[in-house]
């Protein structure tokens, strides 16, 4: 219960005083300056800001990929940077989905296999179950005809969609997407942001997506701005009401 009296969901991801610098002396870049942030389930938040403003660095610090110089990240009530590397890796495998600025696909695997392996090896799904879910997601992403192709045979936008499918197929509780729509035309970009919105609104995922395109704004619940490492502006709803009973985020996107 918050002070406004309404029953609200608590944040799933909180960070305080995050700072991160690269280099020393004259070549030092301060990528994050005392960033505080709260992210909520059932919410799709868009992080905007100029190139070099620290967006990817913030995603990396919040998702356990890059240790900040100072500050704290509480993810699902656990202190992310107080964990051992092994604990953090296990936490990320269990709870987090990532869509990177590059695609990070396995060159030798087909589009379908990239998705199937997440369920087969990450969640112990049967071959049949993995195949059905992978085909569902490929269909949603408009990739059914490309299911048997490898990354080298796919266009940039198609690779990006496979990477998105790979992040969403395990229905992550926390999902981080670094410019997932940058390589796509608007038709596919809109489909992708809608998929992320459904993952948040229907499955209760907490999603932070980096993007430049102002056309994304109407599709998201919240807009955050980074400027020179400073989180300068927040618009939209900080907190979301409990819309429905949070369900185990295990099926569908």
Ligand X SMILES: Nc1ncnc2c1ncn2[C@@H]1O[C@H](COP(=O)(O)OP(=O)(O)OP(=O)(O)O)[C@@H](O)[C@H]1O
Instruction: Point out which residues bind Mg ion (CB under 5 A).
Output: 55-56
By CB under 6 A, name the one of 11, 41, 54, 189 that touches ligand X: 54
Instruction: Supply the minimum distance, in Å, between the C-beta of residue 179 and Mg ion.
Output: 7
Residue 44's closest CA among 222, 189, 248? Answer: 222
Q: Which residues of 130-150 are buried (b: 16+ CB within 10 A; e: fewer)?
A: bbebbbbbbebbebeebbebb
Q: Is 160 in the site for ligand X (CB under 6 A)?
A: no
Which region holds residue 136: left if phi is over 0, alpha if psi is between -120 and 50, else beta? alpha
As measured in angstroms, the least distance from the Cβ of 31 to Mg ion is 10
Q: Quick one: CA dihedral 242, 235, 99, 69, positive or negative?
A: negative
Q: Which does 43 bind (CB under 5 to 8 A by kind): Mg ion, ligand X, none?
A: none
Q: Which is nearer to Mg ion, 56 or 181 (CB)?
A: 56
106 belongs to the binding site for ligand X (CB under 6 A)? no
Residue with tokens 């619940």: 221
Residue 29: closest CA among 2, 10, 5, 57: 57
- How many residues does this entry show for the chain? 253
Instruction: Give me the least distance between CB of 87 and Mg ion, in Å please.
Output: 27
State which of residues 9, 57, 171, 203 lies at the interface with ligand X (CB under 6 A): 57
The C-alpha angle with vertex 68 and arms to 90 and 227, in degrees rounded to 5, equals 120
Grouping H, G, I as helix, E, B as strand and the rest as coil, residue 151 is: helix
Span 129-148, contacts to ligand X by CB under 6 A: none
Under rule CB under 6 A, residue 63 binds ligand X: no
Contacting ligand X (CB under 6 A), which of 3, 7, 24, 51?
A: 51
- Taking the C-alpha atoms of residue 31 and residue 228, their distance in angstroms, rounded to an integer, is 7
| Partner touching 51 among Mg ion, ligand X, none, CB below 5 to 8 Å by kind | ligand X
Question: Among residues 40 and 176, whose Cβ is nearest to Mg ion?
Answer: 176
154 is a contact residue toward ligand X (CB under 6 A) = no
Region of 46-54, 84-92, 103-111, 244-252 interacting with ligand X (CB under 6 A): 46-54
Q: What is the contact surface with ligand X in residues (CB under 6 A)?
A: 22-23, 29, 31, 49, 51-57
């Amino acid at each position: 219960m918050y002070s406004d009296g309404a029953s609200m969901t608590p944040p799933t991801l909180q960070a305080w005083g995050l700072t991160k610098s690269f280099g020393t002396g004259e070549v030092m870049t301060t990528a994050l300056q005392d960033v505080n942030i709260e992210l909520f389930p059932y919410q799709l938040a868009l992080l905007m800001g100029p190139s070099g403003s620290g967006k990817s660095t913030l995603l990396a610090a919040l998702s356990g990929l890059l240790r900040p110089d100072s500050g704290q990240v509480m993810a699902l009530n656990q202190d992310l940077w107080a964990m051992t590397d092994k604990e953090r890796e296990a936490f990320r495998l269990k709870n987090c989905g990532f869509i990177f600025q590059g695609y990070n696909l396995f060159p030798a695997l087909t589009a379908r296999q990239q998705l199937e392996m997440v369920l087969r090896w990450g969640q112990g799904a049967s071959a049949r179950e993995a195949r059905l879910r992978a085909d569902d997601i490929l269909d949603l992403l408009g990739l059914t005809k490309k299911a048997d192709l490898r990354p080298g045979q796919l266009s940039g936008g198609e690779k990006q969609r496979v990477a998105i499918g790979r992040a969403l197929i395990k229905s992550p509780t926390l999902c981080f997407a670094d410019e997932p729509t940058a390589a796509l035309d608007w038709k596919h970009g809109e489909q992708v942001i809608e998929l992320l919105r459904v993952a948040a609104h229907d499955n209760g995922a907490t999603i932070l997506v980096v993007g430049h395109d102002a056309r994304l704004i109407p599709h998201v619940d919240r807009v955050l701005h980074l400027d020179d490492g400073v989180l300068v502006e927040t618009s939209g709803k900080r907190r979301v009401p409990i819309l429905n009973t949070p369900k185990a985020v295990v099926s569908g996107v």
